[in-house]
Structure 1
Amino acid sequence: MGAGIRGFLCLALLLLGLSTMAGAGAAPLPLDERAEPLDPRPHIEVLRDPERRLSLDDLLTDPPPFASAAPRPDLNFGYSHDAFWLRLEVRSTAKRDGEWRLEFTYPSLDRVDLYMPGVEGLVHQQSGDTLPYRSRSIGHREAVFAVPLKAGEQRTLYVRVVSEGSLTLDARLWRADAFQRHSEAGYATLACYFGMLLALAAYNLLLFLSLREPTFILYVGFVCAFGIGTLSLNGLGGQYLWPDAVGWSNRALPFGLTLASAVSVLFARAFLGTARHAPRWHLVLTIAAALELAITVATLLLPVQLALKCMSITGLTSTLLLLGCGVGCVISRVPGARIFVLAWGMLLLGAVLLALRNFDLLPTTFLTTNAMQIGSALEMLLLSFGLAARFNELKRQKEQAQVQALAAQQQVVWALREQERILERRVTERTEALADANERLRALALKDPLTGLANRAALKQQLDLALRRAQRRQEPLALMLIDLDGFKPINDRYGHEVGDTILREVAERLRFCARETDLPARLGGDEFVLVCESVKNRQDARILAQRVLETLNRPSEAVPGQLCVGASIGVSIAQGDDIGGGALTRAADLAMYRAKASGSNRICLADETESPLDDHPR
């Protein structure tokens, strides 16, 4: 047992000595109890691993040369497939044991591993947006690690980072309690930002639903697409919306921001009215929108790093294009162009700062890191203001049109009054004649001109009303579809004048058979309909149909002699249930055809399984 303990202590001391030797290249970073964050960059050493093969054992056993990060303005390495190792030696100068937080300020890092060798063993922590959220050592939107130190303790931290996105490795060290307060403030700020986006999207969605103006729904689409991208960029999407979708976590940023670029081009076309005010720009924007939509789809298929580069180039190009279009529209005095240029100028500034920082051409600061959010917030507020101005302009134009219409109406009234003084009696007579004519026209529009019965349009209106009454009263309603038998030979033999006389006789006989609540109508040709309300049951409907059939079978007076016209009657019944007039008519029509197929001059009720009853034998 004693030999084992001694061996363990020797191994621990060896590891501690190796870590101390490895960290001898830079002065340790002193950690005290102050709440302000510390910038560890002057104390960090960097090692590039192009092959991604180095492990912690390689660094401890045969440490390669690290380069000091002190001369660099920041730790942004742009887009790279290399792995990067950071080495940082820290020493606690606090009077008591404490815990610090190492925070990497750029949330879109794929994988970050922290190793802390020491006498108690190796401590390994992990984070990054390609890890499921629950697998991160500390649950946070950024890569955050715990660094516990005893009073006066000195440790060497090794950090390995790989990422398909921009390798922005700037970090800060905080006291744990100070970081907690800082983190809460950061989350509150982002909550306000995304709350603003949500409010703008909801407000303009309501305007779209009210006005049906395409510009508003395009604005909503732009805000939503941009929100997806920035949720990924800030790490909130991976924390709250897709904590386990690690593949989508890397794709959401290029997809969302590239889609936002495409929708913004469509929005610009609608907002500036380029089809009318700037046809050439309209063609250019149409081509650009098609290309950007294709690139949006490609971001889901391309390697992530290439997709991110396409995103940066597309966003910058789109913003420059829209800014140029806006300036052209300002020169052409297009309404709303000035505020459009101002809005896209804000976004352009943010996009340029972010793109230059991503390509390691600008240092990483609060402004360059959050340039897109700041610029987009200003841009969306200005565009929303522009849409509000557009809404007010539409409202003003509508009110102006109403005023002009009212003025025209008043002019007409004045003219009418002038005419009334001279031709008052004539106007009154003509007005009364016109009213009578309109009344006759309305009556004729709902009547069959030959028989005077209700026509097809009137039947549809009255049948729908009758069905609702029957449903409300829970009473059956019967519909009889009557087709004359042998009418065409009679019409061909005696001529159309005799045929018309027979049709009028049939109409009169239907009126005679109909009760006060029934509606006789002519569908056209030799087809008639009788709608019967308040029938008691199927037998009652059959009796009514039998009465109609017997009445129609009486000899006609259209020509001398015993000329009889029979009929095939199909009856459908609505039992107070929710059935449409079309379905009821189709059921009666099928029943009528069954009656004809069974020998004509018969009655057939819909849904009867037995053969049609020959209620009037021939």
Structure 2
Amino acid sequence: MNSGVTAVKCFLWLANWLARVALVLLWPLAGAALAMPVALPGHGAQDATAHLELLEDPSAKLTLAQAQQAFVDGKFTSTADSKDALALGFTRSAFWLRLELSNTAPEAVHQLLDVVNARISYVTLYAPGPDGSYVETATGSDMPFATRALENRNFVFPLQVPARGTLTLYLRVQSTIGLIVPARLWAQADFGHYERHDYMVQAMYFGVALAMALFNLMLFVALRDRAYGLYVCFVVFSVLALGQKTGMASEFLWPQHLTWANPNYYMATSWGLLCFMAFMRSMLGTAQHLPRVDLGLRAGMWLHGLMPVLYWTMVQSVARFTIWMYVVSCLLLLGVVAWCMVMRMRAAYFFGGAFAVLMAGSLVTLLRALGILPTNVLTVDGLQAGSTLEMLLLAFALADRFNQMRREKLKAQSDLVLAKQKLVETLQASERELAQRVDDRTRELQAVNEKLEALSMVDGLTGIANRRQFDQELRKAWARLERLGQPLALVMLDVDMFKRYNDHYGHQAGDECLRKVARAMASVGRTTDVLARYGGEEFVMVAPASDGPSALLLAQRACQAVLALGATHAQSPFGVVTVSCGAASVVPGVGVTPQDLLRQADAALYQAKAQGRNQAVLAGS
């Protein structure tokens, strides 16, 4: 019996030893099917895409634990053949990506994982925390910008790889549009330099686009030429589309709006193409020269004008169709331009060059979205580069249009001397009229500004000074009396039990009551005093060169004037409308501020209310 047990133990030990040997011998072959860890530390940007392991989740319901089990079961596939980015196409599936980082340095390494696609709807990173459990960081273009781990137009996650250790990450991605996942690893210092350069490039593009839009907008306003207006609209929608594509719009325009990113991109692109088609029809005159083709352009304009309705309701369902629709539209427009160039239309040469560079950039971007072209600097920023060149070339086209019109005008003037003289006289008259109109308009604007300035200083309900004018007058009086060494008094008044008055008689009666109180208080002040509505049922009077007794006397006169109105107040123990007043007076100087004077008057007002209302109290008495 013992010998049999011993034989079994020997057999098991031998089998275990052979299994270990086989594992060592076959490990290189198994490694060929799995992604290699990213070796750290590195310099600059390290491509992490080729080191990813991929698992498709058609149900989009897998948890982290299930994804980890799937890796143990060998269901992940290597992406070693992918360069720069994973092009996963248009799908409703979620994808789990596994990335392993290996640090050979004797100290911990700080890295940044950069997912360079601002239009991925949902991006969730699972990274080990200090206690070894995985910490979830969920963000994406369909989530508020505040969910980003770092403030960046793309999705950037900070990582810490332990000394001489490894870090295993899981990344879950899902999108309502074509899914492209470019992943890079950065050292923190290198990423800071790259980020500054990246935002500088973005700022240059949007700055050029804004300058061109504003310049042509001014030309449109001055010339009333429809082509300039269409060009401006095209530039605006192009900027919006590229701003959404690059993530700049989500960061700076609407960081809190969920699900705006991808519908906005397609909407701006469609309307940009609509404006471009209209601009082409205006510049090339297709309605006269190519009437049949012009019908196709008009149909395309209607289609691009109506498609945004679908983007806001079913963007995922129509995204692939939209991409191909853009491709067909680009090819159609390119064909029209080529035909007009064959017809030797002067505008077509400039227009064709501008259109060609724009469409080349657009096609590069679209083919990258379809997974046909790889992800690199040209394909990522191709649309921006093409758009920038297009704007500049169209500016030359518009300048040539100016020069052409000028040459025709000069030729006509040289042939018709009398017409030229008449034109000069007409232009001179127009200039005089324009100058006169500018002067008239300037005077009107000055008058309106003065009126608005006056209105901004008056309380709309009572007709007396408002809080803004009070603040200005208080500052001026304070500065003047500080130089003169004279006292400045302030009386603060409050209508007693005004809320009860409003509740009992209604707000219209309350408004009329405030107007009566304002008129009564205005009757007791000097011409140099300033009466203002401080807020609600509170009023304030500034009395320059008035000491404490004078301020108290002014407050008592205000109480008597309001009491003399005899305005019935059924909810007041006095039976009529009354006010409580707090008076204060100080000599402006070092250590005393206007706020101190306000606080003293306010405290005296509260004392008057505490003593029974319908009375005046001097601060410090």
1:62 Cα offset (Å):
5.3
8 Å CA contact 1:166–1:358 kept in 2: the answer is: yes
Structure 2: distance between partners of 1:282 and 1:42: 48
Q: What is residue 214 of structure 1 aligned with on the other side?
A: 226
1:372 lines up with 2:380 in the alignment: no
Q: What is residue 265 of structure 1 aligned with on the other side?
A: 277
1:44 lines up with 2:56 in the alignment: no
8 Å CA contact 1:218–1:267 kept in 2: the answer is: yes
1:159 lines up with 2:171 in the alignment: yes
Q: What is residue 66 of structure 1 aligned with on the other side?
A: 76
1:410-462 Cα offsets, whole Å, 9 max, x none, are: 89xxxxxxxxxxxxxxxxxxxxxxxxxxxxxxxxxxxxxxxxxxxxxxxxxxx
Larger mean Cα displacement after TM superposition, 47-56 or 304-313 = 304-313
1:114-154 Cα offsets, whole Å, 9 max, x none, are: 11135443222222111101122222110111111232121
1:230 Cα offset (Å):
0.8
1:407 Cα offset (Å):
5.6
1:518-577 Cα offsets, whole Å, 9 max, x none, are: xxxxxxxxxxxxxxxxxxxxxxxxxxxxxxxxxxxxxxxxxxxxxxxxxxxxxxxxxxxx
Q: Which one-letter code corresponds to 1:82 in the other structure?
A: S
Q: What is residue 90 of structure 2 aligned with on the other side?
A: 79
1:305 Cα offset (Å):
2.2
Q: TM-score, normalised by structure 1?
A: 0.60
8 Å CA contact 1:225–1:259 kept in 2: the answer is: yes
- SS of the aligned residue for 2:47 comes to coil
8 Å CA contact 1:113–1:161 kept in 2: the answer is: yes
The runs of at least 4 consecutive aligned structure 1 residues that moved more than 6 Å come to none
1:149 lines up with 2:161 in the alignment: yes
Q: What's the Cα RMSD here?
A: 2.2
In structure 2, relative to structure 1, the CA distance for the partners of 1:35 and 1:406 (3 Å cut) is farther
1:154-191 Cα offsets, whole Å, 9 max, x none, are: 11000000111221111100001211111111011011
Q: What is residue 465 of structure 1 aligned with on the other side?
A: none
Structure 2: runs of 5+ lacking an equivalent:
1-29, 423-621
1:72 Cα offset (Å):
2.9
Structure 2: distance between partners of 1:142 and 1:402: 58
Structure 1: distance between partners of 2:81 and 2:139: 27
Q: Which one-letter code corresponds to 1:66 in the other structure?
A: F
1:50 Cα offset (Å):
0.6
Pick the aligned partner of 2:108 from 84, 97, 113: 97
8 Å CA contact 2:145–2:255 kept in 1: the answer is: yes
Q: Pairwise mapping of residues 585-604 of structure 1 onto structure 2 (< 5 A)?
A: none
- SS of the aligned residue for 1:103 comes to strand
In structure 2, relative to structure 1, the CA distance for the partners of 1:273 and 1:147 (3 Å cut) is same
Q: Which one-letter code corresponds to 1:28 in the other structure?
A: P
1:341-385 Cα offsets, whole Å, 9 max, x none, are: 111111221122112111111212221122211122212221121
1:471-523 Cα offsets, whole Å, 9 max, x none, are: xxxxxxxxxxxxxxxxxxxxxxxxxxxxxxxxxxxxxxxxxxxxxxxxxxxxx
8 Å CA contact 1:35–1:178 kept in 2: the answer is: yes
In structure 2, relative to structure 1, the CA distance for the partners of 1:285 and 1:61 (3 Å cut) is closer
Larger mean Cα displacement after TM superposition, 387-396 or 190-199 = 387-396
8 Å CA contact 1:257–1:311 kept in 2: the answer is: no
8 Å CA contact 2:361–2:385 kept in 1: the answer is: yes
Structure 1: runs of 5+ lacking an equivalent:
1-21, 412-618
Pick the aligned partner of 1:389 from 400, 403, 412: 400
Structure 1: distance between partners of 2:420 and 2:363: 56
Structure 2: distance between partners of 1:378 and 1:142: 25
- SS of the aligned residue for 2:36 comes to coil
8 Å CA contact 2:107–2:163 kept in 1: the answer is: yes
Aligned length: 388
Q: What is residue 556 of structure 2 aligned with on the other side?
A: none
8 Å CA contact 1:138–1:144 kept in 2: the answer is: yes
Structure 2: distance between partners of 1:35 and 1:26: 20
8 Å CA contact 2:244–2:250 kept in 1: the answer is: yes
- SS of the aligned residue for 1:268 comes to helix
In structure 2, relative to structure 1, the CA distance for the partners of 1:334 and 1:161 (3 Å cut) is same
Q: Which one-letter code corresponds to 1:55 in the other structure?
A: T
- SS of the aligned residue for 2:259 comes to helix
Q: Pairwise mapping of residues 11-410 of structure 1 onto structure 2 (< 5 A)?
A: 25-32=34-41, 34-61=42-69, 63=71, 64=73, 65-73=75-83, 74-117=85-128, 119-301=131-313, 303-406=314-417
Q: Which one-letter code corresponds to 2:93 in the other structure?
A: D
1:194 Cα offset (Å):
0.7
1:321 Cα offset (Å):
1.4
In structure 2, relative to structure 1, the CA distance for the partners of 1:288 and 1:43 (3 Å cut) is closer
Larger mean Cα displacement after TM superposition, 106-115 or 315-324 = 315-324
Structure 2: distance between partners of 1:402 and 1:36: 64
8 Å CA contact 2:109–2:163 kept in 1: the answer is: yes
Percent of paired sites with the same residue: 35
1:299 Cα offset (Å):
2.5
In structure 2, relative to structure 1, the CA distance for the partners of 1:223 and 1:97 (3 Å cut) is same
Structure 1: distance between partners of 2:171 and 2:150: 15
1:85 Cα offset (Å):
0.5
Q: Which one-letter code corresponds to 2:299 in the other structure?
A: I
Q: What is residue 616 of structure 2 aligned with on the other side?
A: none
In structure 2, relative to structure 1, the CA distance for the partners of 1:307 and 1:203 (3 Å cut) is farther
1:317-357 Cα offsets, whole Å, 9 max, x none, are: 22211111111111222221111111111122112211211
8 Å CA contact 2:178–2:320 kept in 1: the answer is: no
1:252-283 Cα offsets, whole Å, 9 max, x none, are: 11000111111110000001122333333333
Q: Which one-letter code corresponds to 1:103 in the other structure?
A: D
- SS of the aligned residue for 2:335 comes to helix
Structure 2: distance between partners of 1:338 and 1:280: 21
Q: Which one-letter code corresponds to 1:217 in the other structure?
A: G
- SS of the aligned residue for 1:124 comes to strand
In structure 2, relative to structure 1, the CA distance for the partners of 1:384 and 1:316 (3 Å cut) is farther
1:409 Cα offset (Å):
6.4
Q: What is residue 482 of structure 2 aligned with on the other side?
A: none
8 Å CA contact 1:50–1:82 kept in 2: the answer is: yes
1:105 Cα offset (Å):
1.2
8 Å CA contact 1:97–1:149 kept in 2: the answer is: yes
8 Å CA contact 1:258–1:314 kept in 2: the answer is: no
